[in-house]
């Protein structure tokens, strides 16, 4: 069963709260975080999440919920590394994008509660103002759509001379998509395309960096 956006926000908030506090939030705290004024609406969504197996609840206490399978902020999960992503001009997409070249351990608090995730190594400097640089590892939640302004792994399908995958901020204006860099250097340009020319592979949710 597909989660609604509000339920997704609730799950993400609960996990974020647990990572900071080691105990769950109250219904009122969840409502404030998810912009829900009615505690009955919060309860309704928690009941749906419980029915789908995402949470368990003890209704006799104010903080009586837990995330099913939550490992805690000090644990790590294996995430497949699929290769490189260009922070600059697009590069060809792997012939078999589901074939991981390696697995990397990622702290659980850097991963979303729901959805499939994968990792890519960044090549290029076009996203430095978004705190993503050459050699970084981006963690991506696989999803076919992102909100305007979010950092996305996007594949340009057409024209052929620009086809390939790139890491950019995604902006949608009507049927027009702008894939915008985050670098003031004028050598890094936006790509303006019709929405039919772009395929979104996922949203960047966190970044890993090596310090030498």
Selecting among 168, 187, 195, 206, the annotated active-site residue is: 168
Among this protein's residues, is 145 annotated catalytic? no
Tell how far CA 93 is from the center of its chain: 20
Selecting among 16, 126, 145, 203, the annotated active-site residue is: 126
Q: Where are the beta strands (DSSP E) in the chain?
A: 55-57, 65-67, 76-86, 102-107, 117-123, 137-142, 151-156, 164-173, 176-180, 191-194, 198-208
Non-local (6+) Cβ contacts of 19 within 8 A are 73, 109
Q: Is-contact 14 30, C-beta < 8 A?
A: yes
Among this protein's residues, is 168 annotated catalytic? yes
Q: Is-contact 174 191, C-beta < 8 A?
A: no
Active site residues: 126, 168
């Amino acid at each position: 069963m597909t989660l609604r956006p509000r339920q997704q926000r609730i799950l993400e908030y609960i996990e974020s709260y647990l990572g900071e506090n080691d105990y769950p939030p109250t219904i009122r705290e969840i409502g404030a975080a998810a912009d829900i004024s009615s505690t009955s609406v919060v309860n309704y969504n928690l009941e749906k999440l419980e029915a789908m197996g995402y949470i368990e609840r003890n209704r006799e206490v104010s903080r009586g919920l837990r995330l099913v399978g939550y490992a805690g902020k000090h644990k790590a999960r294996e995430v497949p590394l699929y290769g490189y992503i260009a922070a600059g001009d697009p590069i060809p997409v792997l012939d078999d994008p589901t074939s991981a070249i390696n697995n990397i351990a990622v702290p659980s608090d850097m991963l979303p509660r729901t959805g499939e995730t994968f990792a890519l190594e960044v090549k290029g400097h076009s996203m430095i103002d978004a705190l993503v640089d050459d050699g970084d590892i981006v963690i991506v939640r696989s999803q076919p759509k992102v909100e305007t302004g979010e950092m996305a792994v996007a594949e340009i399908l057409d024209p052929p001379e620009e086809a390939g995958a790139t890491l950019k901020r995604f902006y949608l204006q009507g049927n027009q998509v702008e894939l915008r860099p985050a670098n003031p250097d004028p050598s890094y340009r936006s790509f303006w395309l019709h929405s039919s020319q772009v395929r979104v592979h996922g949203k960047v949710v966190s970044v890993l960096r090596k310090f030498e």
